[in-house]
Amino acid sequence: MIQHKELASGRWKEMSLCEQMANIGSEVSRTLKWKEKNNPIQSQKAFERALELIDITLTTKLRSSALIELCRLRENLCEEYYKPDTKGIEQLNKYLFQFAIASQKMKMTSQNF
Protein backbone atom coordinates (compact mmCIF):
# COMPACT_ATOMS: atom_id res chain seq x y z
CA MET A 1 0.00 0.00 0.00
CA ILE A 2 1.44 3.35 -1.05
CA GLN A 3 1.38 5.79 1.86
CA HIS A 4 2.99 8.68 0.00
CA LYS A 5 0.57 8.77 -2.95
CA GLU A 6 1.05 12.44 -3.78
CA LEU A 7 4.81 12.10 -3.76
CA ALA A 8 4.76 8.90 -5.80
CA SER A 9 2.54 10.51 -8.43
CA GLY A 10 5.22 13.00 -9.43
CA ARG A 11 5.95 15.62 -6.80
CA TRP A 12 8.85 13.55 -5.49
CA LYS A 13 10.68 13.75 -8.82
CA GLU A 14 10.57 17.55 -8.65
CA MET A 15 12.65 17.51 -5.46
CA SER A 16 16.43 17.48 -5.44
CA LEU A 17 18.14 14.30 -4.26
CA CYS A 18 19.18 16.24 -1.16
CA GLU A 19 15.55 17.06 -0.36
CA GLN A 20 14.53 13.46 -0.99
CA MET A 21 17.21 12.19 1.37
CA ALA A 22 16.11 14.72 4.00
CA ASN A 23 12.55 13.42 3.76
CA ILE A 24 13.74 9.83 4.03
CA GLY A 25 15.66 10.98 7.09
CA SER A 26 12.48 12.32 8.66
CA GLU A 27 10.93 8.86 8.49
CA VAL A 28 14.10 7.23 9.82
CA SER A 29 14.04 9.72 12.69
CA ARG A 30 10.43 8.77 13.45
CA THR A 31 11.37 5.10 13.26
CA LEU A 32 14.10 5.68 15.82
CA LYS A 33 11.87 7.78 18.08
CA TRP A 34 9.10 5.16 18.21
CA LYS A 35 11.56 2.31 18.61
CA GLU A 36 13.14 4.10 21.59
CA LYS A 37 9.66 4.67 23.05
CA ASN A 38 9.00 0.93 22.68
CA ASN A 39 6.09 1.47 20.30
CA PRO A 40 6.56 -1.26 17.69
CA ILE A 41 3.42 -0.40 15.72
CA GLN A 42 4.36 3.25 15.10
CA SER A 43 7.99 2.29 14.59
CA GLN A 44 7.03 -0.27 11.94
CA LYS A 45 4.83 2.27 10.14
CA ALA A 46 7.63 4.85 10.02
CA PHE A 47 10.09 2.18 8.91
CA GLU A 48 7.78 1.16 6.06
CA ARG A 49 7.31 4.81 5.02
CA ALA A 50 11.10 5.26 4.95
CA LEU A 51 11.47 2.18 2.74
CA GLU A 52 8.70 3.44 0.48
CA LEU A 53 10.46 6.80 0.02
CA ILE A 54 13.73 5.03 -0.74
CA ASP A 55 11.94 2.86 -3.30
CA ILE A 56 10.28 5.89 -4.93
CA THR A 57 13.70 7.56 -5.10
CA LEU A 58 15.16 4.48 -6.73
CA THR A 59 12.66 4.90 -9.58
CA THR A 60 14.02 8.36 -10.45
CA LYS A 61 16.96 8.97 -12.74
CA LEU A 62 20.06 8.76 -10.59
CA ARG A 63 23.78 8.66 -11.15
CA SER A 64 25.20 5.22 -10.46
CA SER A 65 26.92 6.46 -7.28
CA ALA A 66 23.61 7.76 -5.89
CA LEU A 67 21.90 4.52 -6.84
CA ILE A 68 24.53 2.51 -4.98
CA GLU A 69 24.26 4.80 -1.95
CA LEU A 70 20.47 4.44 -1.81
CA CYS A 71 20.67 0.66 -2.10
CA ARG A 72 23.20 0.56 0.74
CA LEU A 73 20.98 2.84 2.81
CA ARG A 74 17.99 0.56 2.27
CA GLU A 75 20.01 -2.54 3.10
CA ASN A 76 21.48 -1.00 6.25
CA LEU A 77 18.13 0.33 7.43
CA CYS A 78 16.54 -3.10 7.04
CA GLU A 79 19.42 -4.78 8.81
CA GLU A 80 19.50 -2.32 11.71
CA TYR A 81 15.75 -2.10 12.20
CA TYR A 82 15.50 -5.70 13.33
CA LYS A 83 18.33 -5.50 15.84
CA PRO A 84 17.33 -5.06 19.48
CA ASP A 85 19.49 -1.97 19.99
CA THR A 86 19.12 1.33 18.14
CA LYS A 87 22.78 2.22 17.60
CA GLY A 88 22.73 1.47 13.88
CA ILE A 89 19.54 3.45 13.27
CA GLU A 90 21.01 6.32 15.29
CA GLN A 91 24.01 6.37 12.93
CA LEU A 92 21.76 6.32 9.86
CA ASN A 93 19.70 9.13 11.40
CA LYS A 94 22.84 11.24 11.92
CA TYR A 95 23.91 10.60 8.33
CA LEU A 96 20.51 11.58 6.93
CA PHE A 97 20.23 14.62 9.20
CA GLN A 98 23.10 16.15 7.24
CA PHE A 99 20.87 16.15 4.17
CA ALA A 100 18.20 18.05 6.10
CA ILE A 101 20.77 20.69 7.03
CA ALA A 102 22.07 20.91 3.47
CA SER A 103 18.55 21.10 2.08
CA GLN A 104 17.69 24.00 4.39
CA LYS A 105 20.89 25.82 3.45
CA MET A 106 20.07 25.37 -0.24
CA LYS A 107 16.59 26.82 0.30
CA MET A 108 17.95 29.77 2.24
CA THR A 109 20.54 30.49 -0.43
CA SER A 110 18.00 30.35 -3.27
CA GLN A 111 15.62 32.69 -1.41
CA ASN A 112 18.34 35.34 -1.10
CA PHE A 113 18.42 35.86 -4.88
Regions of the chain with pLDDT less than 50: 113
Residue 8: predicted pLDDT: 59
Asked if residue 34 lies in contact with residue 105, where contact means CB atoms within 8 angstroms, the answer is: no
The residue among 106, 1, 11, 103 whose CA lies nearest residue 57 is 11
Contact 35, 43 (CB under 8 A): yes
* Full residue range of the structural domain in which residue 58 is found: 16-111
What pLDDT score was predicted for residue 6? Answer: 64
Determine, yes or no, domain membership for 41. yes
Q: Average pLDDT of the chain?
A: 90
* 34 falls within a domain: yes
What is the CATH number for 46?
1.20.120
| Structural domain count of the chain | 1
Does residue 86 belong to any structural domain of this protein? yes
- Please indicate, yes or no, if residue 6 is contained in any of the structural domains: no
